[in-house]
A and B are shown apart, each in its own frame.
Chain A
Amino acid sequence: MKIFLFAALLGATGIAAAQVTDQDLRKGPDQNWLTYIGDYAAHRFSPLDRINRANVARLSPKWVRHIDTQADLETTPLVYRGVMYVTNSNEVYALDAVTGREIWRYTATGVRRRGVNRGAAMFGDSVYFETSDCHLIALRRGNGGFLWDRDFAGGDRAYSCTGAPLVVKDKIIVGVASSGKACFIAALSANTGEEVWRFRTIPKQGEPGSSTWGQFPLDWGGAPAWTTGTWDPDLNLLYWVTGNPWPDFGGDRPGDNLYSDCVLALDPDNGKLKWYFQFVPHDTHDWDANETPVLLDADFGGRARKLLVQANRDGFYYILDRTNGEFLLARPFVKQLNWAKGIDAKGRPIVVPNMDPSPGGIRVCPSVHGGTNYWAPSVNVSLGLFYVVALEECETYYSSAQQPVPNSGFRGTGHTSIPSEPGEFFLRALDVKTGKLRWEYPMPGPTTMWAGTVATAGGLIFTADDSGDLVALNAETGADLWHFYMGSNLKASPMAFAVDGQEYITMAAGSNIFTFGLPAQ
C-alpha cells in the first residue's frame, strides 16, 4: 500500500505533457518533424546530417510496421520526441519511432467513407486528423484519448477529405474535395473545433469572380482544396491551392472559372482573400493546382523578394511575388508539353488552339496525372535547388455530349493512355530562381509510383523511383548513392527525424511504414 500512496502523490504532482508550441512549428524540422509539409515554407529540408553522402551507402532497414487496412498509404508521418504519428484512412497510430511498436491507435467509428489520408497535425498536447467524410478529430497526444469531433462539412456527403490539416497559430486549417459541388477552405478553433471562418473556393452569385462561369450553376463548380497549404508568419498570409473546375474535362462553363486552379492568399485570422493567382483559366484537363506552394526568399530581378514557387500539374514551374501575387516567371519543367506555347507577361497561358477534349480524342501533354502532382517537392536553399518529381506523359482526352450530373461520378468523360507513348518519371533539380534544369535522375518503370521527396543537410535528397526503390541521391549532382526495394506501390513522401542523436529516414510504402538508419557503431 505504501507504494500506491507514493505513486498517487507523484501522480498528483506529475509533469504535464510537453506542449507543441507555435514556436516549435515555426522552427521547422529538427529531431522532430511536426507538420505534413515539414515547415511552414514547405521546403521539406531536414537540418540533420548524421546520414550523409559519406555513409548513406550503409543505410539499413530498422523496422517495418504493417498497416492492416490500407493498400496505398499516402501519409507523411509526424515525429515528436521519439514517437511517430501515422495516419491511415480514418485512423491514427502512435508508434515508437525507434522500434515501430504501437503505443496507441485511434480508429474513428461511424465514418461514411474510406479514402487515403496524407497525415496528421500537432499542437499543444493534441493530435488532429481529418476523417474521409470531413470530420476533424482531436486526440490527446499521450494516449490517443478522444477530445472532440467536428463535422466541418456539415454532414454533406458531396464532400470528402484526404489532406493533412495545418496548424496556424490557434487555428486548424482544413479543406474539402468534391466531384460536382463548390468546395471550401475552413479555419477551426484548435481548442474546440468550432469554425472561425470559411472561404468558398467558388464565389456565390454576385460576388467577385462569379461572372467567370457563364450560366453554369456556381454550386457545382468544384475547385477542391485537397492538399495542405503554407503560411508566411511575417506577412501573415496563408497560401492554399485549389483544384480543377467541375466537370473535369469540359461542360458548359464558359470563362476562367474562378477560383479553380488557383493559389489563394488568405488572411488566416479571418479568411479574407488578399490576392489570387490562377494557373490554368478554364481548365479542361483536370490540372489541379494542388501541388505544394513553396515559399522562398531570394534575389529576383536584382532585388530581394519574397517568392512563392510552384511546379504545377500543367507542366510549368511558376515564380510569384508572394506579397501581392505578381507573376514573375514561368518555365516548363517537363518536355512533353503541347497545350500552351508559354505563359505571357501577366501569367496567363498562351494556349494552343483546339486542345480541349473532343469526341474523337485529342493528344495532350501533360497527361491527366500532370507534369507533377501532390508528390511533395523539396528545396535545398544553400544549393539553390528545387527538387520535383516530374512525369513525362501524354494522353488522349475525350469529351461527351452527356449532360453533367453533380456528385454522380461523371467527369465530362475522360482520358486514356497512349500505349505507344509510355510515360516516364524523373527527379528533377531546378534552379529555384529560374526554373532551369540543373540535373535530372531518370526513374524508369510503369508510371505507378507517385512519391515525393525530402532534402537533408547531409547533402542528400531522398525520393522513390518508379520501380519501387527508395533512393538517396547526391543533392548537388543527382548521382545515386543508395537504394532499397520497398516491394510495393509508393505513393507517399519520405521524411527525416532523429532520436537520441541517431538520424532516421521513414517512408510509407504500400501498406507498410519503413524506417531506415545507420548500423550501430
Chain B
Amino acid sequence: MRTGFTLTAFAVLSAQLLPGQLGRTGPPSAANPLARDQAAVEAGQKQFQQLCTGCHGRSGQGGQGEGQGPDLVNSWEVRRASDTELMNWIHNGVKGTAMPAFALPQEQIRQLAAFVRSLNAPANSVPVPGNAANGEALFYGKGGCGTCHMIRGRGGYLGPDLSNAGLAHRVSELRTAIVNPAALSTSGYKPILLAGGVRGIVKNETNWSMQVIDETGQIHLLHGAEMNSARLQPGSWMPADYARRLAPNQIDDIVAFLSRQAVRAEAEADRRSPRPAQREQN
C-alpha cells in the first residue's frame, strides 16, 4: 500500500494473434534433437547474427527493401514447417527464392533451426531461460502483475487473463509486453476511472454506450448520460518502467513463469496431426 502505483503493475498483452493461431504450432519433433535445447538455441542465435540477419533482419522479423528475406517470426510457412523441412531449407536453400544453401555441419543446422523455431513457436514449446518458480513469486509479489492479471482465477481484472499466455504468445511477445508495453495495443484495456475513483478498463465504447470491467470484476454498463460519470485516462494501467524496476534475471523469471501457462497444451500438440474437421448436429 506504499503507493497505489506499485499496485497497478501489470502487463498488457494485446490480442495481436488470432485465437488459436499459434495452436497450429506444436513442440518440435524428434527430427531435431536440439530443438528444445537452450544452449543450442543460444548457439543458433549467434550463428543467425553472423549468417542470416543480412536478409532476415536483426530480430528475424524480415529485411528492409527489395529482395530481402521474409519475416520468420510471423511466418505461417515457418510455423507449419516440420523440423526436417526447416533444416532442409537452411541446408539446401529454397528453390525459386533468394534463400541460398548453407553447407554447414549438421550440428550447426540443428542449432540454427532450433533458434528459428524459438522465434516463431509459442512460448511453452521452446526452451526459456529463467526460473518459473521465482517468476511466480514475482508475478504475485514484488512484480505486482497478479494485481491486474488473472491466471486460472487467481489475480485481478484490469489486464488480460494470462492463463494461456504460454500458448497464445511467443517468448519475444511476452518479454516485449513487460519491458516495452507501449509497443502493444490497449484495445479492450483502455484505462478509465469510474465514479468514486474505481479503476476500470473499457471493453467497448460507442457514442451511446460504454462497457467497463472494474478492478473488482464488476461489469458496468454505461448508457447515454451515465457515460459522463466515468473519465477515460491516457495510456495504459500497465506501468512502463519494468525494464528499470526489475533486474534482467527477474524479467527472465517472469517470462519463464508465463511461458508455462497453457490451457489444453496436449490438445494443442495433438493438432499437429490434423484430422478433417467434424461437424456434429446432435
Contact = CB atoms under 8 A, between A and B. Distances in A.
Interface string B209-249: 10101111111010100000000000000000000000000
Contact of A146 (B3, B164, B282): B164
B161 A143 contact: yes
B209 A101 contact: yes
A17 B216 contact: yes
Given A82-B221, A104-B203, A110-B23, A96 B216 contact: no
Interface stretch (B71-79, B89-97, B261-269): B261-269
B211 A96 contact: yes
Given A16-B216, A107-B19, A140 B150 contact: yes
B215 A11 contact: yes
B49 interface: no
A149 B3 contact: no
A148 B150 CA distance: 13
B129 to A, nearest CB: 26
A208 to B, nearest CB: 27
Given A6-B4, A101-B211, A135-B264, A15 B218 contact: yes
Contacts of A17: 216-218
A11 B206 CA distance: 26
A3 interface: yes
A1 B282 contact: no
Interface residues on B, range: 35 or more
Contact of A113 (B218, B264, B268, B277): B277
B193 interface: yes
Nearest to A97: B221
B205 to A, nearest CB: 9
B197 A3 contact: yes
Contacts of A135: 264
B213 A288 contact: no
Nearest to B213: A143
Interface string A104-135: 10011111111110000000010000001101
Given A83-B219, A109-B20, A162 B213 contact: no
A142 B263 contact: no
Given A7-B4, A103-B213, A142 B157 contact: yes
A7 B193 contact: yes
Interface residues of A, number: 59
A147 B153 contact: yes
Contacts of A10: 196-198
B282 A149 contact: no
Contact of B268 (A81, A109, A114): A109
A99 B153 contact: no
Nearest to A2: B4
A8 interface: yes
Given A7-B193, A11-B199, A102-B211, A109 B5 contact: no
B209 A14 contact: no
A226 interface: yes
A98 B279 CA distance: 33
A365 to B, nearest CB: 21
B204 A103 contact: yes
A177 B282 CA distance: 7
Nearest to B2: A5
Given A14-B215, A108-B263, A149-B263, 4 more contacts: A10-B198, A16-B216, A103-B203, A104-B213
Interface of B: 1, 3-5, 7-8, 19-20, 23, 150, 152-153, 155, 157, 161, 163-164, 167-168, 193, 196-199, 203-204, 206, 208-209, 211, 213-219, 221, 223, 263-265, 267-268, 270-271, 275, 277-282
25 contacts: A4-B5, A6-B197, A7-B4, A7-B215, A15-B218, A17-B217, A82-B221, A83-B219, A98-B209, A98-B221, A99-B206, A99-B211, A103-B203, A109-B19, A109-B168, A109-B268, A114-B279, A133-B267, A140-B150, A142-B213, A143-B217, A146-B161, A149-B264, A160-B278, A226-B282
